[in-house]
Structure 1
Amino acid sequence: MLYCAIKQQMEKGPIDAITGEARYSLSEDKLIRQQIDYKTLTLNCVNPENENAPEVPVKGLNCDTVTQVKEKLLDAVYKGVPYSQRPKAGDMDLEWRQGRMARIILQDEDVTTKIDNDWKRLNTLAHYQVTDGSSVALVPKQTSAYNISNSSTFTKSLSRYESMLRTASSPDSLRSRTPMITPDLESGTKLWHLVKNHDHLDQREGDRGSKMVSEIYLTRLLATKGTLQKFVDDLFETIFSTAHRGSALPLAIKYMFDFLDEQADQHQIHDSDVRHTWKSNCLPLRFWVNVIKNPQFVFDIHKSSITDACLSVVAQTFMDSCSTSEHKLGKDSPSNKLLYAKDIPNYKSWVERYYADIAKMPAISDQDMSAYLAEQSRLHLSQFNSMSALHEIYSYITKYKDEILTALEKDEQARRQRLRSKLEQVVDTMTLSS
């Protein structure tokens, strides 16, 4: 839900196809600071699976590149279909239909692409003057425009398109639409979309005169954060709750946390911050942070650079919520720290409550834990390479063999189960086989 909310919110405003910067963002590094004028358009997309089916209305922006439009159309038409099982934008052409016969293929770069000195701007819906309510279709990709520029179909479509431009544009603007030279003959031409991405920091510094002051775009970050607040809260509350979750707390979490508490007692560690840090390091910071930042590891989705930047801010907030140290903020603090400064104390209380609630739960016996692990192994028998996992464990054992054998000899429970002799047998067997 958080991923979908971020993606939807980011796509409501302009996103630079080259730099990945966006009008709406949680990350200051990925925020478009220039003022971008844009309009929202509704495109009626022909269903690629059935042209006789009703057209699918899709929201887009007139400043979107052709590829961005194709991705939005694919998201709408193939809603609910796993990303890996649907067509890719690069394999499809965007066809603008004007009546029954007039069909124009729109591309990010073609003979109409605007070039200014050494800057070449990607084509957008505004460049093609696509209007609200236009009918479009996604069709299997044809031969490159560079190779079909002599074909009668393309020439007719292009001449019709250029005549349309002449009725709506000044002669001066038309002169800038000279055909671009082929890529292999280009020398030093740089692509841009919404913002010219200068190569050197000193150039970027010189460009700051046209950018909004920091207070203004910090306000914009806060506005985006406010829109996404409920989704962040719901995610954190679900993770740090033993009750408000879709399923029961896994036995392994209770078993592992009890083990950490036992180790603290055994080593006479009474500092609650140390116990808290151990638990945070082994579950929230090792597992959940990775899932929050990389949802594509779990779900069949595509993660864009702007979505990645926003999820990184959420992941950093999650990490700060698990910390026991106080974060002192000042005027030079990073914007992502300032964004959630007021929320982190509340999130920290959720983490503390979560650890305390787990500590109060009934202990898990070794027999119950063994039965649970056996059941999990059965359920996921064909999903994991157990030999690879065993090899990783064995590599660790060979590296620290002496220390592990000594520890097993000292541990009372390990002695009862004769784990040292069993491990020695495994090591001897592996040594002989190798």
Structure 2
Amino acid sequence: MLSPDPESGVKVWHLVKNHEHGDQKEGDRGSKMVSEIYLTRLLATKGTLQKFVDDLFETIFSTAHRGSALPLAIKYMFDFLDEQADKHSIHDPHVRHTWKSNCLPLRFWVNVIKNPQFVFDIHKSSITDACLSVVAQTFMDSCSTSEHRLGKDSPSNKLLYAKDIPSYKSWVERYYSDIGKMPAISDQDMNAYLAEQSRMHMSEFNTMSSLSEIYSYVGKYAEEIVCALEQDDGARKQRLAYKLEQVVACMSIES
């Protein structure tokens, strides 16, 4: 009870949750009842969103979905990772799986799922943010190679999609396998693809600003980059290390 109004004598009461009351036993019962209500709502919400989550995951982890072909850059990048694994005698499939997951699904797609306002002109409410966090966590668990042991004390967002994750994991494995079976992308085709992308988006970027950012990185790691270029056969043929040193020297004079 709050302090009564001295003029009218009206008593004002402030309602609190049971578990905030001194009676601990009553509080435990109230907390359990509230959690059961929320669990029912969680399951109902999951049922409503299930088709959309499935459709999202299926679209992301498909090499050809509804007429959209896999971008050449993804095949080229995954082949590069496999080549590096072979070069360093890494035959553990879990390592290769983790490399591919970390360079595309977990670096790019999780960010988009969690922050749709980065792509779309929308407002993300706190409730939407909480829901998307659950979807993003499920997405991350689907890309993991480790087994998730869940119990009654596990968080509800983990338990919610526990039965779906094995199916999602099989989609991820099939996706990586299908990409591995696709014909390799030659350097010429990749260069042509990049040139076409540059032409299509030529007016959308500030070239000088991009070059400045690249040069800042080169200036920081010039010695390591030059050393790597000198050890690479293709770079040696094009004398890239020498050309880079010339650029660095020229920029130093200009500055």
What range describes the TM-score normalised by the shorter chain of this pair? Answer: 0.7 to 0.9
Shift of 1:257: 0.7
Instruction: Please name the residue that 1:371 is paired with.
Output: 192
Question: What CA deviation, in whole Å up to 9, does each residue of 1:322-346 have, x standing for no partner?
Answer: 1111111122211111001111111
Aligned positions of 1:194-209 closer than 5 A:
206=20
% identical equivalent positions: 81
Instruction: Please name the residue that 2:214 is paired with.
Output: 393
- Which of 302, 307, 311 lines up with 2:123 in the alignment? 302
2:107 alignment partner, SS class: helix
Write the distance in 1 (CA, Å) between the matches of 2:224 and 2:66: 40
CA contact (8 A) 2:229 2:240 kept: yes
Bigger proportion of residues as strand:
1
Instruction: Please name the residue that 2:114 is paired with.
Output: 293
Instruction: Please name the residue that 2:141 is paired with.
Output: 320
CA contact (8 A) 2:110 2:139 kept: yes
Q: What's the TM-score, normalizing by structure 2?
A: 0.86
Instruction: Please name the residue that 2:38 is paired with.
Output: 217
1:382 alignment partner, SS class: helix
Question: What CA deviation, in whole Å up to 9, does each residue of 1:80-130 have, x standing for no partner?
Answer: xxxxxxxxxxxxxxxxxxxxxxxxxxxxxxxxxxxxx79xxxxxxxxxxxx
Instruction: Please name the residue that 1:178 is paired with.
Output: none
Shift of 1:223: 1.7
- Which of 246, 253, 262 lines up with 2:83 in the alignment? 262
Shift of 1:386: 2.9
Question: What CA deviation, in whole Å up to 9, does each residue of 1:199-224 have, x standing for no partner?
Answer: xxxx8951656552433422321121
Write the distance in 1 (CA, Å) between the matches of 2:58 and 2:199: 31
Shift of 1:382: 1.9
CA contact (8 A) 1:239 1:245 kept: no
Corresponding letter in the other structure for 2:149: K
CA contact (8 A) 1:240 1:354 kept: yes
Write the distance in 1 (CA, Å) between the matches of 2:19 and 2:121: 40
Aligned positions of 1:6-405 closer than 5 A:
206=20, 210-211=30-31, 212-405=33-226
Write the distance in 1 (CA, Å) between the matches of 2:183 and 2:118: 33
CA contact (8 A) 1:222 1:339 kept: yes
Write the distance in 2 (CA, Å) between the matches of 1:394 and 1:205: 60
Write the distance in 2 (CA, Å) between the matches of 1:243 and 1:396: 36
Shift of 1:262: 1.0
Corresponding letter in the other structure for 2:158: K
CA gap 1:432/1:227 in 2 versus in 1, 3 angstroms: same
Shift of 1:418: 2.0
Corresponding letter in the other structure for 1:206: E
Structure 1 unaligned runs (5+)? 1-116, 119-174, 176-195
Instruction: Please name the residue that 1:43 is paired with.
Output: none
Shift of 1:356: 0.7
Shift of 1:246: 4.6
Shift of 1:428: 1.5
Aligned residues: 239
Shift of 1:419: 1.9
CA-based RMSD of the aligned residues comes to 2.4
Structure 2 unaligned runs (5+)? 4-9, 22-26
CA contact (8 A) 1:293 1:311 kept: yes
CA contact (8 A) 2:19 2:30 kept: no
Task: Name whichever of 392-401 and 251-260 sits farther off.
Answer: 392-401
Shift of 1:258: 0.8
Higher relative contact order, chain-length normalized (CA < 8 Å, sep 6+): 1
